[in-house]
Amino acid sequence: MKRLLKYLSAYKKETVLAPLFKLLEAFFELLVPLVMADIIDRGIADSDMGRIGKMGLCLVILAAVGLTASITAQFFAAKAAVGFSAKLRQALFDHIQSLNFTNIDKAGTSTMITRMTSDINQVQSGVNMVLRLFLRSPVIVFGAMIMAFTIDVKSALIFVVAIPLLAVVVFGIMVWTMPLYKKVQAGLDRVTGITRENLTGVRVIRAFHRESEEEASFREHNRALADSQIFVGKISAMMNPVTYVIVNGAVIALIYTGAVQVNIGNLTQGEVVAILNYMSQILIELVKLANLIITITKALACADRVANVFEITNKETVISDMSDLSKQAADAPFLEFDKVGLTYEGAGAETLRDISFTVKRGETVGIIGGTGSGKTSLVNLIPGFYPATEGAVRLEGQDIRRIPEEKLRGRIGVVPQKAVLFKGTIRSNLLWGNPAATDEEMWQAIDMAQAGEIVEGKGGLDAEIAQSGKNLSGGQRQRMTIARALVRHPEILILDDSASALDYATDAKLRAALSRLQGETTTFIVSQRASSIRHADKILVLDDGELVGIGTHDELLAACEVYREIYYSQYPDERQADGTQTPQKAAPAADRSEASEEKVREGGGQNGGR
């Protein structure tokens, strides 16, 4: 929680004024029993109506001033709490955005959502309640005890016994429930994850008629969450009745002691009423304090979960000094993979092993291989989405880990496997690629991506796009994401199986348009279709995480068995024309590409594995 308090620094005035006004309210409230005692002992006893009216007016003034102080305190407390949560949520979002894919995968999407929403809301409630009550309740409790001592020491000794007992109950339950609230929030993470997975995969669930199984799974986790909440709720609910028992027991003792003291003449009736009022104030404040403790317990548990996200950091240190880049760029290749290896965190084996190649500026590089061969993993290393665990990826001679993330990714345009569009307009989606793009630049990118008919059919750049692009087909979404990458005029363009939903004619037009980028943009094309990469300047062939072939289409047909098997599995007529026999040891690659070939025949395509 201490780490998060820095986000309250912009609200120092509010965090001071809120408890001070509550403190002022408490002081006025402590005067009320004394005024009541005076009314009873001097006004009613002496039948002094003037005294009663004067003291009654004093009570009204105390109530009005106390109400004003209370409203002012709550205003400042709410302003500080809401502002704090807004800054904390923004900081958490910014931190998550700075994490590389490894840490995001490790943390999980559902827990990130829960911590940014539910957890921060709980922390906000905790801050609000603390600012309002953390001074008021203790001041009322101990102030009432002190005021009772000023009236009668013997009667006030009952307070000395009751208050420690109440403190043991309150803080004992707090210590007991804090770890339980953490478990409740973890259960909420699981329910959120299941809900998110079911909503995003609803078509698959219905296609395989798995509704009943998913309902049963959700019901099980939801019931577990409910049971956890009920259990911790029962423990928290014990606080009020236990405190009432202790306080009411103290009231009984107080009435008995007061009666005896009145009978022997040591106390007046008004003073007994005042002491009872102080005990009632303590009872009311302890109920508030009990609720405050429950809220604080939840807030601390949630604050700890939020702070844990801030503790997740990228292992690589980005060095902003780029002074040596120009010296190295003169004789270094534009892009170089130097014995690169990649092992995902928690994975049992390497995904990529000993990958080495160089690329010149303006070249078109095709990447092909069976499903799960590591094609996507390889291109994800270029913008630094995942850090290489062995070797180095260099851009113009500079290790990309030494290049500030903003500068590195500002030079790269990425079209991921899954075409993702955001709710808004076509214009707003294209501006993700280049916020300063003109309409002319956007139309150029749209035409190059073969998406002109889509935009015109929708009504232009200001046409609405639904969340995730649901109002577009798969092929339309892919072309719009390609246009989004092209509009930024990237030095490096990565197309990660981004034409899998396009028909052959549109794919051919797209490749022809992209070929005009040569000399300006270095293009990486990941594809399961040999036709998509056969005209590339350089083709990389991956097999089970290893680079088993590199060269042009003709060179690989002659020398690379894996490429030959993939190519001829898609063009069997050419195999017969060439009279080429498939070597026995190439069979595994054929097996891996068989499913891909079937999808290709249908005009689809399979995404490469990580």
- Confidence (pLDDT) at 330: 55
**Does pTM top 0.75 for this prediction?**
no
Percent of the chain with pLDDT over 90: 23
420 shares a domain with 304: no
- Confidence (pLDDT) at 473: 87
Q: Which amino acid makes up residue 297?
A: T
Residue 550 has pLDDT above 90, yes or no: yes
Q: What is the 3-state secondary structure (H, E, C) of 335-351?
A: EEEEEEEECCCCCCCCC
- Which letter does DSSP use for residue 540 in this model? E
Mean pLDDT in residue range 232-241: 82
Mean pLDDT in residue range 275-288: 77
CB 326 within 8 A of CB 210: no
Confidence band for 252, pLDDT divided at 50, 70 and 90: confident
Q: Which of 310, 326, 352 is the last residue of a domain?
A: 310
The total of structural domains in the chain comes to: 2
Residue 554 placed within a domain:
no
Tokens matching residue 346: 């928690």
- Confidence (pLDDT) at 577: 60
Residue 329 placed within a domain:
no
- For 367, 405, 565, the CA distances from 318, given in Å and listed in that order, are 28, 8, 42
Residue 164 placed within a domain:
yes
149 shares a domain with 32: yes
Highest-pLDDT range among 31-35, 256-260, 423-427: 423-427
Residue 340 has pLDDT above 90, yes or no: yes
Tokens matching residue 77: 């407390």
Residue 364 placed within a domain:
no
For 28, the 3-state DSSP assignment is: helix
Confidence band for 321, pLDDT divided at 50, 70 and 90: very low
Q: For residues 101 and 220, what is the distance between their CA atoms, to the nearest angstrom? A: 31
- Confidence (pLDDT) at 586: 40
Residue 350 placed within a domain:
no
Highest-pLDDT range among 168-172, 378-382, 387-391: 378-382
Q: Could you tell me the CATH number of the domain that includes residue 9?
A: 1.20.1560.10
- Confidence (pLDDT) at 223: 92
Tokens matching residue 135: 């001074």
Question: How many Cβ atoms are within 10 Å of 378's Cβ, its own excluded?
Answer: 28
pLDDT higher at 572 or 394:
394
Mean pLDDT in residue range 586-602: 39
Residue 165 placed within a domain:
yes
Q: Give the structural domain span for 436.
A: 412-489
Residue 581 has pLDDT above 70, yes or no: no
Mean pLDDT in residue range 341-353: 84
211 shares a domain with 69: yes
Give Cβ neighbours of residue 157 (< 8 Å, ≥ 6 apart): none
In tens, the pLDDT along 288-317 reads 777 787 788 788 888 888 888 888 877 654
Mean pLDDT in residue range 329-345: 84
Residue 216 placed within a domain:
yes
- Confidence (pLDDT) at 319: 43
Confidence band for 532, pLDDT divided at 50, 70 and 90: confident
Q: Which of 489, 522, 548 is the last residue of a domain?
A: 489
Strand stretches in 2-124, DSSP E: none
Q: Strand 352-359 relative to strand 398-399: parallel, antiparallel, unpaired?
A: unpaired
Q: Could you tell me the CATH number of the domain that includes residue 457?
A: 3.40.50.300
Question: How many Cβ atoms are within 10 Å of 599's Cβ, its own excluded?
Answer: 15
In tens, the pLDDT along 137-186 reads 888 878 887 887 887 777 778 878 887 887 788 778 877 887 888 788 78
145 shares a domain with 34: yes
- Which letter does DSSP use for residue 497 in this model? S
- Name the nearest CA neighbour of 127 among 298, 10, 309, 306: 298
Q: Which of 471, 489, 507 is the last residue of a domain?
A: 489
295 shares a domain with 436: no
**Torsion sign across C-alpha atoms 263, 268, 270, 275:** negative
Tokens matching residue 598: 């079937």
CB 377 within 8 A of CB 352: yes
For 536, the 3-state DSSP assignment is: coil
pLDDT-wise least confident of 58-67, 165-174, 378-387: 165-174
Residue 219 placed within a domain:
yes
Q: For residues 2 and 375, what is the distance between their CA atoms, to the nearest angstrom? A: 44
